[in-house]
């Protein structure tokens, strides 16, 4: 059987639920009968609802899957959570083979689901398109293995790395197609984070259910700025200041320590992760915040437009330090390149980001 193409189908199914399952992983599933014909598909649609395997198997009659094969991008769970163990249902349905993309990094599951299946006499095939499966659930993996928030940066520049002219002109560097893709990217993350400088310069709306603004001196207009008009919003500010007493109910002001004259990003990320349950953040900001966040960044979405300013005074996408030696550069690895004519988007991850567990 061509398990790789079937695993691609599982990944495609899983992707339908982007933005709806956090903090759970994205999972898709395909079921074959004993003649190796697809008889059911499923995916985890929403946090708290059926897992992918249960979604697919419960569509079938009592013995329809018996002797068949189940393909899934993540190891079936073996414990009771919001739903019963998927491994138990697979055994109950009489499947003879299970093909997985990767083990579950959750320590209460990892390897136990596979062990339960093997002990029931089910053949298990592991590691099909494993890197693709890991990339699909990179946020979940970091949450489970490092207990830290997943940090991504989105930026759009000219070919010479400029996000705006010296006067601040930036609309629009990229095309409609590229900007439409940004909306899809935002949907993958628990929240969007930006700076007060971006709020003042661009007055963006940044539509998302959760937004974070770093406003050290409380200089943005909390009554009229577009970004504050909808969603749940966290505003981090210098802990030595006093937050405004009058503001919209959706605003949450959080005092933050200062490091080197700026809000302490490590504190911001830990606060969001540990106290607000935010597992992933997408940064959309200017060069100073982008640059400061690079050391925390797990992923970068970099859009390039086929334009060249050729002006050293233009604003750079990463502008936060002076470097003398090229060996001090932050290193990333390109994992994909997509075209949104006439623009290109590179997707990059930290060189060591695909870790084993």
Beta sheet of 97-102, edge-to-edge order: 38-43, 28-32, 69-74, 97-102, 123-125
For 144-180, the DSSP string reads HHH---EEEEEEEE-TTSEEE-TT---TTSS-HHHHH
Catalytic residue among 18, 36, 41, 53: 53
Cis bond leading into 230, ω under 30°? Answer: no
Instruction: Map 36-48 to HEC letters.
Output: CCEEEEEECCCCC
> Tokens for 3?
């398990």
Per the DSSP assignment, residues forming a β-bridge with 211 are 192, 233
> Tokens 């059911």 belong to which residue?
40
Report d(CA 18, CA 125) in Å as an integer: 26
Residues 6+ apart with CB under 8 A from 297: 151, 152, 153, 283, 330, 350
Asked if 53 is an active-site residue, the reply is yes
Q: What amino acid positions are annotated as catalytic residues?
A: 53
């Amino acid at each position: 059987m061509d398990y790789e193409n079937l695993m691609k189908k599982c990944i495609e199914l899983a992707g339908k639920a982007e933005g709806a399952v956090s903090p759970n992983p994205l999972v898709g599933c395909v079921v074959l009968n004993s003649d190796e014909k697809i008889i059911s598909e499923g995916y985890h649609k929403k946090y708290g609802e059926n897992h992918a395997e249960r979604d697919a198997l419960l569509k079938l009659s009592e013995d329809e899957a018996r002797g068949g094969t189940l393909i899934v991008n993540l190891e079936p769970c073996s414990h009771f959570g919001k739903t019963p163990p998927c491994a138990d249902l697979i055994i109950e349905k009489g499947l003879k083979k299970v093909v997985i993309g990767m083990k579950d990094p959750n320590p209460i599951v990892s390897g136990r689901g596979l062990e339960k299946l093997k002990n029931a006499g089910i053949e298990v095939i592991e590691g099909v398109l494993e890197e693709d499966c890991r990339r699909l659930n990179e946020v979940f993996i970091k949450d489970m293995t490092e207990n830290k928030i997943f940090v991504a940066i989105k930026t759009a520049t000219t070919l010479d790395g400029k996000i705006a002219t010296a006067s601040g002109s930036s609309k629009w560097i990229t095309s409609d197609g590229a900007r439409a893709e940004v909306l899809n990217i935002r949907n993958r993350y628990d929240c969007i984070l930006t700076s007060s400088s971006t709020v003042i310069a661009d007055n963006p709306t940044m539509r998302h259910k959760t937004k974070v603004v770093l406003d050290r001196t409380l200089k943005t207009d909390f009554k009229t700025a577009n970004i504050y008009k909808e969603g749940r919003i966290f505003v981090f500010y210098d802990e030595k200041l006093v937050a405004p007493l009058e503001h919209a109910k959706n605003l949450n002001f959080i005092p933050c320590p200062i490091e080197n004259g700026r809000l302490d990003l490590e504190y911001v990320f830990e606060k969001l992760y540990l106290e607000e349950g935010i597992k992933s953040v997408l940064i959309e900001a200017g060069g100073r915040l982008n640059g400061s966040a690079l050391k925390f960044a797990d992923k970068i979405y970099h859009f390039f437009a086929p334009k060249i300013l050729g002006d050293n005074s233009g604003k750079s996408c990463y502008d936060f330090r002076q470097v003398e030696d090229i060996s001090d550069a932050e290193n990333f690895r390109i994992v994909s390149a997509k075209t949104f004519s006439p623009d290109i988007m590179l997707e990059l991850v930290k060189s060591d980001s695909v870790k084993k567990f």
